[in-house]
Chain A
Amino acid sequence: EAQVTQNPRYLITVTGKKLTVTCSQNMNHEYMSWYRQDPGLGLRQIYYSMNVEVTDKGDVPEGYKVSRKEKRNFPLILESPSPNQTSLYFCASSLSYGRAEREQFFGPGTRLTVL
């Protein structure tokens, strides 16, 4: 089944404790991205990747890191989480972007709480 998976789905952690949220897609998609969703602010893009070893900042990259060593995986790293990073996080992927773009497929979301 074609899908985007995220792990964990729920995480409660404490300030400063490094964490990684994994994202994996099995559709051989080139483009992957991370979003956070907060009430009243909609979805905001954190980072995106247009292919292996190619990543770029979105609208809210501060406090986050990503890597794209393989095509299928795009982990989101919080080196020192803070309470303002409490949010619902979504990973997404698409076959391509720009003029040839097709739909984005979203993962089920990771609800993160930083105490």
Chain B
Amino acid sequence: SQQGEEDPQALSIQEGENATMNCSYKTSINNLQWYRQNSGRGLVHLILIRSNEREKHSGRLRVTLDTSKKSSSLLITASRAADTASYFCATRETSGSRLTFGEGTQLTVNP
């Protein structure tokens, strides 16, 4: 399976609820990044968490990183319909300079 796998593949919630997406990876990393993509558009960087960090916040976003479990989670609190998009995690491996993306989680926030 791929480096940077998101779970679940699709998530549908009501406006105001929290959305949690998970990402698992296999190798040692320098950092892990979360991106958002609206349908057919370019990706927008949300947050970067380094391998020596455990938690990071940005507005309504909270990212955690557990390097012992090789996993990360993205929490979006108080979701809005405008948060509807695909969310991708990407890992920068320590062994190289490639950035590897997962297949993404499709989040739908219903008004």
- Closest B residue to A105 using CB positions: B45
Assembled-state Cα–Cα distance A98/B41 (Å):
26
Interface size on A (CB < 8 Å)?
A: 31
- Closest A residue to B9 using CB positions: A40
Q: Which residues of A contact B64 (CB under 8 A)?
A: none
Whether A103 pairs with B45 at a CB distance below 8 angstroms is yes
A11 interface contact, C-beta 8 A: no
Interface string of A48-90 (1 = CB under 8 A from B): 1010000010110000000000000000000000000000101
Chain A: residues with CB nearer than 8 A to chain B? 4, 31, 33, 35, 40-45, 48, 50, 56, 58-59, 88, 90, 92, 97-99, 101-109, 111
Chain B: residues with CB nearer than 8 A to chain A? 2, 30-31, 33, 35, 40-45, 48, 50, 88, 90, 92, 97-104
